Structure 1
């Protein structure tokens, strides 16, 4: 006869097996939310010239080439490594090559990839491909994208295997992530808002996937949709995409609408300029959008709910006088020629540092990156010869970078926290 302890152990194991089975079934059910059976693929996909041109435009709006084209590589042939805290994900081949691209995919399978985050064979895709945003793309726009991609030159370019740490390299882990973090959806227009606002919401939250950079992420790397476009760190690259809802960071509420359009169209405006990852977005994507669509995006962004925090304190920041003196010397030697003795800048050329939101943001990571690596605006049709800031990382050490930024953030009426050596040493 079995001992009572053995019987209890067997019973406990049985309960655990049942619970694991139920959990697995729940994960499967959650991963099938919003999915319909794929129809049999039609024998042909007859696209109109208008549909193909529409797809070309939408590919620009989604900045598809930004991830799916390597420098010097064939257009849309994939291979670009996207670094994440969990490893590197490599973008796939979107050309119509039958063996290595999407040439054997149907329009419905392509739609499922955007809407549900599944590959042709049903395999779960990693959200470095931003299907949590692309799920809002309409079927008509998906078909137009598919039509356009079928016209680009086919490239025989096998997909590069992802390099992710265990357990993130397993479909099981991805299934759990999706169960916790992803629900397929569709864009639903707000009947109480005008058509222009709804168009802007569709572009910003869908194809534009702005939340992928400007949204905070949780420990599992999922964007926190309830916090919206309230700012987020861009993993590995060490840039910060500022909050689009805080007037202390990058909110455009209160701007002239044309200034927002100019910023997205040319990379610069009387109110601000772009650099870092956003410069690439303007260069590859938004400069090619129509004025109507840029105006719609501006309208939507200007009406985002305000999340500007109340001032934490009215007491001026305490500063080390020695650090400030050292920073002033570095500024005089390296910065004043362009940005002015009083941080006033030169309109149309070099941005003012006095009173600048970018200078006074809570986090100094973008300033550190700009000093170390340089700050470059995109070359666009509206600003073909932009001024840029050269890198100083080969001339200034970490202590000097911390000192000059501490000085800039504390001079001419600026009152942001000093920059520490520890912050500049983070690579």
Structure 2
């Protein structure tokens, strides 16, 4: 009996101490790609130019520049369900930036999610996507960052609640959600398709928003690009897969490319966080890259319905709700979006067949009716038309009614909206 108890105790010790220790050790020492050498560069100026382009379309500045702050000097709070993480200074300042880093250090961060000193990086930095980038593109971005003005700005430590503030526990997270590895082209596909796949999966880190997340903040790979609620920001990032009407199945590739580069298209308009992405980043994308992304997204099979929160059941008689919604629509909306829901695209998008109205989660149309909004100002759309807010004009029941009507008019078919859900997002930050 004593021997049995000792054996059981040994097993418990191994499980409680040995296994976690092995996981941590493995994550610290396992660094695939560390033997990938820098690619010799014949034209340094071209490398820097290329790096500037890649940094722009990867939207690096969005996180690494505080509002009103100096470019790439860090300090912007990345708000997560676990607390705030502050983007670091990536200017070439020797003390507070990455001035002492080498191209190998930078590659290590992008490819393996580790800092210069081997410290685990928090996945608010999307290294889970960047790992797919090539060494040449990593080196190009680093070469560009070396040319910008150094800024002496100290980095701020994360403000995370326990146990998420224990960085060593990221070893467990990494073992669950992170597999390092460069993008591998599909030889059965075209060069354009592979370019689109590379940009979406890697540099563009589209899945960071457009894929639902688990309770631990990892992307649900089964629902890749199937849409998801953006934590804390309270916006729903729609599916980017093809197939269903609520996805991109009935969009033309040219309309997808238009939305990415101008913020408007014949099928929809960029709003909320996506408007910022287009305005600061994607509008500068080369035409070939935009077309490659559009073609790749159109080719993706339909995703499963994501785990976005379902809408509460509406109150009242459905027929009365829709009749009231039609009355409100005819009073406030018909001039821009027309009685037939066809709108006047690209200035005023069509509502008939609009995928934002067809998904289970009606969060985005609720927020647009409450808060209004503008697409971004871009070189392809320098004077965007906007939508006024109606939060002061309409109460929660009226907003719910008009959104319910739009979700069920002109051939649209979706669940009705509850005033409870409207009230939940009234007054929420824009993004």
TM-score by length of 2: 0.88
Q: Does 1:407 align with 2:412?
A: no
Deviation at residue 77 of structure 1 after TM alignment: 0.8
Task: Tell me what 1:24 maps to.
Answer: 20
3-state SS of paired residue (1:82): strand
Distance in 2, matches of 1:249 and 1:59, equals 33
Task: Tell me what 1:382 maps to.
Answer: 380
Task: Tell me what 2:371 maps to.
Answer: 373
Task: Tell me what 1:228 maps to.
Answer: 224
Contact kept, 8 Å, 2:243 with 2:250, in 1: the verdict is no
Deviation at residue 182 of structure 1 after TM alignment: 0.8
The equivalences for 1:216-365 within 5 A come to 216-248=212-244, 251-253=247-249, 255-307=251-303, 320-365=318-363
Task: Tell me what 1:158 maps to.
Answer: 154
Contact kept, 8 Å, 2:242 with 2:297, in 1: the verdict is no
Deviation at residue 144 of structure 1 after TM alignment: 0.7
Deviation at residue 413 of structure 1 after TM alignment: 3.3
Q: Does 1:188 align with 2:184?
A: yes
Contact kept, 8 Å, 1:34 with 1:183, in 2: the verdict is no
Contact kept, 8 Å, 1:133 with 1:207, in 2: the verdict is yes
- In structure 1, the gaps of 5 or more residues are 310-317
Distance in 2, matches of 1:342 and 1:40, equals 59
Distance in 1, matches of 2:297 and 2:82, equals 31
CA RMSD after TM alignment: 2.6
Task: Tell me what 2:134 maps to.
Answer: 138
The equivalences for 1:106-185 within 5 A come to 106-185=102-181
3-state SS of paired residue (2:424): coil
3-state SS of paired residue (1:426): helix
Task: Tell me what 1:72 maps to.
Answer: 68
Distance in 1, matches of 2:150 and 2:283, equals 26
C-alpha deviations, 1:165-191, integer Å up to 9, x for none? 110111232111111111111111111
3-state SS of paired residue (1:330): helix
Deviation at residue 27 of structure 1 after TM alignment: 0.9
Greater mean deviation of Cα atoms: 141-150 or 385-394: 385-394
TM-score by length of 1: 0.89
Deviation at residue 64 of structure 1 after TM alignment: 0.3
- In 2 relative to 1, CA 150–171 (structure 1 residues): closer, same or farther, beyond 3 Å? same
Contact kept, 8 Å, 1:117 with 1:124, in 2: the verdict is yes
Deviation at residue 247 of structure 1 after TM alignment: 3.8
* Aligned counterpart for 1:95 among listed residues 91, 94, 97: 91
- In structure 2, the gaps of 5 or more residues are 306-315, 426-431
Distance in 1, matches of 2:300 and 2:146, equals 37
- In 2 relative to 1, CA 250–101 (structure 1 residues): closer, same or farther, beyond 3 Å? farther
Deviation at residue 423 of structure 1 after TM alignment: 1.6
Contact kept, 8 Å, 2:247 with 2:355, in 1: the verdict is no
Deviation at residue 46 of structure 1 after TM alignment: 11
Contact kept, 8 Å, 2:197 with 2:296, in 1: the verdict is yes
Greater mean deviation of Cα atoms: 259-268 or 199-208: 259-268
Distance in 1, matches of 2:296 and 2:317, equals 40
Distance in 1, matches of 2:35 and 2:161, equals 32
Deviation at residue 346 of structure 1 after TM alignment: 2.3
Distance in 2, matches of 1:285 and 1:37, equals 30
Contact kept, 8 Å, 1:67 with 1:91, in 2: the verdict is yes
3-state SS of paired residue (2:89): coil
Deviation at residue 29 of structure 1 after TM alignment: 4.5
Which has the greater radius of gyration? 1
Deviation at residue 243 of structure 1 after TM alignment: 1.1
Deviation at residue 252 of structure 1 after TM alignment: 3.5
